[in-house]
């Protein structure tokens, strides 16, 4: 299991992004939600980050602390997706709840999840004419598109994920809108300047998500 960390609001504030060191999700995590990278915030404090089991343990340990009046916000960092979590559950209950939400219907033990796809009639006609099932054809098309991704595509995905997380936890901080504009403009010096007074945990998460983004 990949290591997980809890952060302290008094830790040194990291720079953005001048050197590598960001945390990326390993390929296997794309089909296994338990191995994806997660981050939990309570207010502006970064409680923990890493794989789900370790983050859930940290959330459960913080649940009884007297200062924990703010709700816990949990994110899967590949897409910046916020996941509802009941911080009063034990760690194993949090893990089970998150995995149930993320895996949904289908055959999760085989890595197959079900979802809804809305297509026009001509798209269904094309799929029905293929030698494989519609699901298999769509999977092959997606795999081909992922293989064709460029560094610019990957950077866009990481910027979008970072923005989604910031929108949920940093929207009331000074210069938030200007920082978001700098983020999407890839103006890293401006982003560092605009967020220099932000809480250390938020800056640390931005660094983890964007630290090597310029290298593609």
The mean pLDDT value for 47-76 works out to: 84
The overall average pLDDT reported for the chain is 81
Half-sphere exposure in the Cβ direction for 106 (13 Å, CA): 17
**Which pLDDT value is given to residue 112?**
66
Tell me how far apart the alpha carbons of residues 52 and 92 are, in angstroms, rounded to a whole number. Answer: 10
* The overall pTM is greater than 0.85: no
Higher pLDDT, 120 or 34: 120
pLDDT in tens, 130-183: 998 888 888 888 888 878 778 788 889 999 999 999 999 999 999 999 999 999
Torsion of CA 162, 167, 171, 176, to 10 degrees: 40
pLDDT in tens, 45-60: 999 999 999 999 999 9
């Amino acid at each position: 299991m990949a290591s997980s960390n809890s952060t302290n609001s008094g830790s040194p504030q990291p720079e953005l992004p001048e050197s590598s060191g960001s945390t990326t999700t390993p390929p296997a995590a794309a089909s296994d939600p338990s191995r994806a990278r997660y981050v939990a915030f309570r207010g502006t404090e970064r409680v923990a980050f890493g794989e789900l089991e370790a983050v859930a343990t940290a959330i459960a340990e913080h649940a009884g602390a007297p200062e924990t009046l703010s709700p816990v916000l949990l994110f899967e960092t590949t897409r910046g997706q916020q996941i509802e979590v009941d911080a009063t559950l034990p760690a194993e209950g949090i893990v089970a709840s998150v995995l149930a939400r993320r895996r949904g219907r289908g055959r999760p033990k085989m890595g197959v999840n079900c979802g809804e796809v809305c297509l026009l009639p001509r798209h269904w006609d094309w799929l029905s004419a293929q030698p494989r099932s519609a699901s298999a054809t769509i999977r092959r098309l997606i795999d081909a598109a992922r293989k064709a991704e460029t560094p610019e595509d990957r950077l866009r995905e990481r910027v979008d994920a970072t923005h989604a997380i910031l929108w949920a936890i940093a929207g009331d901080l000074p210069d938030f809108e200007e920082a978001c504009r700098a983020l999407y403009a890839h103006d890293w010096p401006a982003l560092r300047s605009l967020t220099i007074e932000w809480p250390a945990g938020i800056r640390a998460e931005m660094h983890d998500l964007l630290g090597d983004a310029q290298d593609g």
